[in-house]
Amino acid sequence: MKVNRLRARLLASAGAFVLLSMGAGQVLTAVPAAADSGARVVGYAVDDLGTLGGTASSAAAIDNATVVGTSQITGDATTHAFAYDRHTRTMTDLGTLGTFSRAIAVEGPFVVGVSGLSDGGPVHGFAYDLPKHTMTDIGTLGGSSISITGLSGHTIVGSSSLAGDLVTHAFAYNLVTHTMTDLGSLAGPSGTSSAADVSGHFVVGTSSLPGGPATSRHGFVYNLLTHTMTDLGTLGGTISTATAISWPVVVGQSRTAGDASLDGYAYNLLTHTRTDLGRSLMISQLVSGKTAVGADSLLAFTFDLTTHAITRIGPGNGVTEVKAIKGDLIVGDVFAPNSFAFAYDVKTATFTKPASLGGLNSVALQSGCHGIVVGSAALPPPDPRTANGPYHAVIWVPHAV
């Protein structure tokens, strides 16, 4: 994680006024706290989801009434993926392929994640069918490790090592046909690539380039229907990445001409136009509809892809780390200096800190329908010398205050 680096930046710049470098045509808007803006204030009721018998748990994703995450089991010997039904208020242990498992995403009846096959052995991806109560090993591209980064419809995307574990390629797995497709790389079979996100039949990620050094890479989009990988290019510099897609917009980061700076960018797949999002969105780019979001490694900002207006998220007195955006709701964490979850409504410019479970700290990872936020929060500390007890998976349900 970037937490240590970000906290170092925070301490180094404590009490300083941050001057942002803005690109042409961009408007910076400082957002006041919700209480000062006149916007409708939203509160969140916190609900402890419990554990699978162990000490700690964390929720990672939500789809309708299903929350998924990871929990220690009784005795805390290992961790298992879980699915929590909000209607029945029951947590189901999804089991493992061998040793441990971790849930990453959920959509409809499918939960996806990773699981160890044996102690210190290979890690494979899995797909769990909730109605059938079955876990399927989706395997790898021949190597011993895999990561899963996205789920859309029946498509899982991520990255896997190839046989020999010397090269990693992006992949797409079809939950209907049970087939894994090697997406290759812009440099051919010997190059490396990684998938970051998927929307419909389009996968985005980052790939090495033909004839270039190992550090040379470009963002790409892969069309699962035509089986073609397209280089998304750069803002004029030597490298770029692609980090997220909300059809038809891809966002990522890129060096500008002469490698003068590292900026965020948005690329429209329909119009083939590229927008420089500036240094305010130089890292952790995400997108939903007409809103792109990112950070400058200290503060986080939104970028309106229609008006090109840039708006700061949060109080501005801590490191703001965005984790997800869905519709108009952005969630993440603020370190100032202790970490706490936040939810930010783009339409109303309302910044809210959801309650914890009695401890000091909390983490927000994703949001779902009706603005429900999932993550983890600390229980009350066991003694007055500590700030937190164990973390439990939670959901935060919004309500008007």
* DSSP per residue, 280-326: GG-EEEEEETTEEEEESSSSEEEEETTT-EEEEES-SSSEEEEEEEE
- Asked if the model's pLDDT at residue 34 lies above 90, the reply is no
305-336 pLDDT tens trace: 999 999 999 877 779 999 999 999 999 999 87
Distance (Å, whole) CA 192 – CA 248? 25
Question: CA distances (Å), 243 to each of 137, 246, 345, 375, in order?
Answer: 26, 11, 22, 21
80-117 pLDDT tens trace: 999 999 999 999 999 999 999 999 999 999 999 999 99
269-291 pLDDT tens trace: 999 999 999 999 999 999 999 99
